[in-house]
Structure 1
């Protein structure tokens, strides 16, 4: 275990966060808000941390898989711990546990909140809230790798440990170039959405923070009634399309740049993802038709909410708690499924379900034909045993953490739908759940213990469980410096 290198990289990463905090500080300055000083104070603290831990490179710089997982888990935890300080120092969220919950929800792009009144927040503070979505969407480590000089030998293990999905691959030979390409595509899509939202009547500030949240599939914004505030079919349509786009594996966009249309069109995960969306929108539109004026309105609200839930964005334009039980059940199911691997969306990921279904079919085929040689394939390629084993371990750990979290949260004595969907929505990084944590409610009424559990679930869900479980393993830390 190369602990000195871990400390060095973490020191460097915290220095980057200190620089990033200057952005909301500048926004606060533009609006003449005192909250800007809170960002400057934390930025200065992180600058000192960088000078102490992140400047002197250790003699031994090599890191392996276990160090990468530890760095990823610790980086997300530390960014959240320090990122919460501006909320507390400015007085916007005086309670640190609440501020930590809000920051974790931001970086993990969950979008769950403890805030009952959003529109009264200082502009700089709310900008920071939504900016955490944009940074966390593609990944804290990917963001840092893009703008620092960490060598390629160490960069790829970090990217693989952080990128969502069973596997993560380079787009180009150098990991840092891969990070730059990912963020380049991410930036362009975000910029296009900003422009389109401004065409719909949003001012630049509103367009930026809604685009940050859409890009990161997070859900924070500056309106108490979310996107429903605008009551605009155009804005709903733009955000719906971009939520779906950001839920697609970014590797496919790179293939589009290479004009490899065949690989994109044949991608099984993409087809399953779009198929689930189409089927869900169709059924829900029919199911809620009696509630709305016509088919167009029913389709508009169904499409928006399906896109918001399956991509784990968490925006809402309608209170789906008032919808029929079938519609709510469908939303709960796609909350489990989530978006594509390699996207900014959360959830279990579509490709895992595709592989799981193929594995079940393979087992049935083996029973019927004992001598047959069968393999599980995805996009024409054989799925390795390590990947299959990893998926099985992931599902087992997911169920265990889900059950344990529900038991702890149940101490607060809310109804089962509230406790279960609260855990489910946080571990899948969705945002709103059902019942008392539905789209027009939030998490303010839970105890500090439950909020810590929810924060843990958000981090575990975003990092796909294993990095945080390794972080809690004593065996990881036994070796000396």
Structure 2
């Protein structure tokens, strides 16, 4: 591995985090929140800048970057960002436990939205802002953000982008990687700004509207009220956020196609069609299932729409305690947790494209069982898929399930029942936020031990980076030959 490049890039990432912390620092001054908060941000900013400057004074002589270097850089970056991002919570005393603060910050950057906080409204404005601001930065990718704003270093950054941008296949929008990053973040930030305006029009104050827009854009789900979006009791706000979550769960490459006038790509996207169909049928099924039990109403339709939008996009906002819904509706939401949003979006989960290809692969194999000599081509988006892509998606699914089982076994030691353990891992691994039972929308993760909170924090990072970067980092640590 090229250690000089790894250290150099990590140093730049830490400087970016130091710069980002200046925003909640200013918020703490505006709201006059006291020296604990102000010094907490200042101390961490100083540490990050010192480390960043010391590790980037000298540019690496060898600028070539291998795929393994990219995976290790991405994994270490997210671990370091979560650790240093947790320190302001600890130093301010608002989340005094480092394990709790690390969990909360990892949940923010990975846009998971799981929380250990029993009283969200007890946090100061600056800490609430920092907590939600991590959603905005982590949604499109911290390293993508760094690549977009940092001066060019001449490094080959394609391997970093491949390791961080979610989805089975990575594609550049334009020839230059830096310009691709800027286009993606430009679209992302413009959509976020528009969402803020819509929420302001619905009666939210600027602070609440901004933080809810951050949570929606990053499909993270951190709110500012203990009862999440239900606090506002507004059909308009629920509809705006619900539609916003669905839009941010769409592949951002399609928005670029709209920008350049290639509208035809929207209608050709098989993933988008599957995504919309899943949302429609899930809403209808839950509406009928819950309606039969408790009566049909427009409120139920809104709740079904909102929760399906929230879960499939792995956002985690809530307007109702779906723990009280029938088991059939629980199963639908659980399935949506694993499906997730579209590739190239800010959503987590397996991704709709992978699910679609896995289903087509299974159907093709069934055909071959009936007719062994038959040649079956698997098409997606109108194109015949290469066998390497099919194999890589199948292999990813197997690894995904194996890691899930390991995480489940570790969390089971500290869980009161199977439903809590299974949904806690499902919610963190797929970057959802709330699960069922103890960790449902009316609960939180505070009752777990520090060990389990750390395991679940790693579960979030595993899920956000789609497993391989973290496995490669762990493999490199335990295999000395990989470090050479």
Taking structure 1 as the reference length, what is the TM-score of the superposition? 0.97
Task: Map 1:3-82 to 2 at 5 A.
Answer: 3-34=3-34, 35-82=37-84
CA pair 275-479 structure 1, distance change in 2 beyond 3 A: closer
Task: Map 1:93-132 to 2 at 5 A.
Answer: 93-132=95-134
Partner SS for 1:154: coil
CA-to-aligned-CA distance 1:254-293 (integer Å, 9 cap, x gap) = 1111222222112111000000000000111122225667
Partner SS for 1:431: coil
CA pair 292-212 structure 1, distance change in 2 beyond 3 A: farther
CA contact (8 A) 2:425 2:459 kept: yes
CA contact (8 A) 2:63 2:155 kept: no
Q: Bigger shift: 102-111 or 382-391?
A: 382-391
Q: Distance in 2 between matches of 1:130 and 1:463?
A: 19
CA pair 479-297 structure 1, distance change in 2 beyond 3 A: closer
- Number of the residue aligned with 1:370: 372
Q: Distance in 2 between matches of 1:389 and 1:85?
A: 42
Q: How many correspondences in the alignment?
A: 481
CA-to-aligned-CA distance 1:23-49 (integer Å, 9 cap, x gap) = 010111110012122111101100000
CA-to-aligned-CA distance 1:374-423 (integer Å, 9 cap, x gap) = 32221122322332222122211211121111211111141100011001
CA pair 246-371 structure 1, distance change in 2 beyond 3 A: same
Q: Determine which of 251, 271, 274 is the counterpart of 1:272.
A: 274
CA contact (8 A) 1:24 1:127 kept: yes
Task: Map 1:21-420 to 2 at 5 A.
Answer: 21-34=21-34, 35-151=37-153, 154-289=156-291, 294-420=296-422
Deviation at 1:153, TM superposition (A): 5.4
Partner SS for 1:289: helix
Q: Bigger shift: 152-161 or 252-261?
A: 152-161
CA pair 74-348 structure 1, distance change in 2 beyond 3 A: same
Q: Which runs of 5+ in 2 are unaligned?
A: none
Deviation at 1:152, TM superposition (A): 6.4
CA contact (8 A) 1:152 1:175 kept: no
What is the root-mean-square deviation in Å for CA atoms of aligned residues? 1.4
Q: Bigger shift: 141-150 or 267-276?
A: 141-150
Q: Bigger shift: 118-127 or 405-414?
A: 405-414
Q: Which runs of 5+ in 1 are unaligned?
A: none
CA contact (8 A) 1:287 1:324 kept: yes
Q: Bigger shift: 381-390 or 398-407?
A: 381-390
- Number of the residue aligned with 1:478: 481
Partner SS for 1:127: helix
CA contact (8 A) 2:65 2:157 kept: no
CA contact (8 A) 2:415 2:448 kept: no
Q: Distance in 2 between matches of 1:153 and 1:68?
A: 11
Partner SS for 2:121: coil
Q: Distance in 2 between matches of 1:426 and 1:294?
A: 32
CA pair 292-206 structure 1, distance change in 2 beyond 3 A: farther
CA pair 293-199 structure 1, distance change in 2 beyond 3 A: farther
Taking structure 2 as the reference length, what is the TM-score of the superposition? 0.97
Partner SS for 1:442: coil
Q: Distance in 2 between matches of 1:14 and 1:24?
A: 16
CA-to-aligned-CA distance 1:152-211 (integer Å, 9 cap, x gap) = 651221111111011111001101100000001101110011000001111110000000
Runs of 4 or more, structure 1, over 4 Å off, are 290-294
